[in-house]
Amino acid sequence: MWKLSLTGIIFIVSCSYYAYATNVKLNHDFDLLIFTQEWPATVCKEWKKHDPSHKCAMPTNTDSWTIHGIWPTKLGTIGPAFCNRTWMFDPEKIKPIEQQLTQVWVNVFGGTSVYALWSHEWTKHGTCAAQLKPFNSELNYFSIGINWMKQYSMTNILKSDPAIECKKEDGQSDISEIRICFTKDLELTNCDGIVARQQIGDDSILTNCDRSKNILYPQYINNHCLKKDKMAACYYASSHRNMFEPLQNFTQQFISLEIKIAGYNMGW
């Protein structure tokens, strides 16, 4: 068991992922890396909401969070992205770890290529992270994601004190993503200074969630189907730093987290 001091927890708000993607700057310099994991049940729910005919390719372990990406980020801006468009994704480069990737870095959007998410994340974000020696190859970029997933599992982080980003619908918010920030030396750091598209709250809690209402954690029904009235857990968002009251007692502490709740993320 390990512990980290709980400092600088922030809440980041986004109205839509599209707004996030369209403001990307051309400057390729960056200050930190955001490691993002997503809750597949909510991703699936949003995917189906966009088109009822959509199918979801859920991970084998339906109780686990999966990786969305590792995003180099310049403080006060969004991006950089697509730093080298000639450095195309090559599936052969990740063959040694492909089996692991299919378990922890899952493309939930059924009907698209198994490589679609990996290709996008490498082209958009990996080519920027490659400025750093530890990320200087496609294999290294994805390998670090796997290693971070082992160290900073969102399933465990939700047991403590995360930061929240929401999409509100019908008076509820469905948890979708958690983000952790790292320095360019790959040390955990506070996420202070990354762009928040909306901020509500004091200096310790920034969120677009209605903190007087519930934050919902959708579960899988029969592994694939989602029902609005079925939730694995329901957490009451209070005004205190500890935003969640888990179903069990936990002792781990984490820093520099951001949770995004819902949103149709086809743009990744």
- Does 46 participate in catalysis according to the annotation? no
Listed in sequence order, the residues at least 6 apart from 200 whose beta carbon sits closer than 8 Å to its beta carbon are 11, 13, 206, 207, 208, 209, 211
What CA–CA distances, in Å, run from 38 to 59, 133, 134? 12, 26, 23
Query: Which residue out of 38, 46, 68, 138 is catalytically annotated?
Result: 68
- Does 125 participate in catalysis according to the annotation? yes
List the structure tokens of 212: 């007087």
Query: Which residue out of 38, 46, 121, 165 is catalytically annotated?
Result: 121
In this structure, the strands spanning 257-260 and 231-236 are unpaired
Q: N- to C-terminal Cα distance for the chain?
A: 32
Fill in the amino acid letter for 205. Answer: I
Query: Which residue out of 38, 125, 138, 177 is catalytically annotated?
Result: 125
Structural contact between residues 175 and 183, judged by C-beta atoms closer than 8 angstroms = no
- Does 121 participate in catalysis according to the annotation? yes
Closest C-alpha to 261, from 200, 214, 216, 213 = 216
List active site positions.
68, 121, 125
